[in-house]
Amino acid sequence: MVTKNEVPAAIEGREISVIGQNIKPVGGPKKLPETDEVVYQLKADRRAESTIVKENLPKMWRFKDYSCLDDGDQIAGKQMWGLSSNFIGIGDLEVGTGGRTSAHPGQQLKIFGTCCMVLIKGYKGPAIDVHPKNELLKVGLKS
């Protein structure tokens, strides 16, 4: 299992879990070259994590030659963009499960079929969740 949080990084699989704080569909559907398969775009901003739940069979690159392809491989960062065979439908996006922080309830989405997530902007190390209470404790204003 590999975790990457710096550009360039991507994951590809049959099923990918996306956890973030600003997961949205973006733009119109696209046709893949050669196969003409229709895929839908999505993005995850602020802080996001994507993990391969089921790997591709056969395990091969389709989008980026630097993509991670194994089960459990993960990318994390500030901005992510991806493609999926299925569009985000009603009730697909779970709020309040994964990616929860003190400032945001967090969002979680599973994408299926032909899918990939590409890191657009990463960060070094996991983002620190700063709770106002911890900030006050740090400066000695709260016991």
Partner 1 sequence: MDDAGNLYYFNEPTNLRKKIDHIVRVKEDPDNSSFDIQPIEGTEQFFYDIYSLIQENNVLKISLKNLWKVHSYNQEYISYLLGSYSKDEFKEIAETYAEPILEDVPNNQLFTALKIICSTLNQHLNATDLSLFLNVTPSYISEEIKLLDYSPEECGIE
C-beta closer to partner 1: residue 58 or 91: 91
- Nearest distance in Å: CB 63, partner 1: 9
Measured distance CA(96)–CA(90) in Å, rounded: 16
Taking alpha carbons only, the member of 105, 114, 129, 86 closest to residue 19 is 105
- Nearest distance in Å: CB 39, partner 1: 8
| Unique residue bearing structure tokens 């700063």 | 130
C-beta closer to partner 1: residue 100 or 113: 113
- Nearest distance in Å: CB 116, partner 1: 10
C-beta closer to partner 1: residue 89 or 125: 89
- Nearest distance in Å: CB 42, partner 1: 10
Tokens of 104: 């945001």
Tokens of 25: 């569909």
C-beta closer to partner 1: residue 4 or 43: 43
Measured distance CA(61)–CA(54) in Å, rounded: 14
**Which 8-state DSSP code applies to residue 124?**
S
C-beta closer to partner 1: residue 82 or 99: 82
- Nearest distance in Å: CB 75, partner 1: 12
Q: Per DSSP, which regions of the chain are E strands?
A: 3-4, 10-25, 30-31, 38-54, 74-84, 94-95, 107-122
List residues near partner 1 by CB under 8 A: 7-8, 10, 25-33, 38, 40, 43, 45, 64, 79, 81, 87, 89-90, 118, 120-121
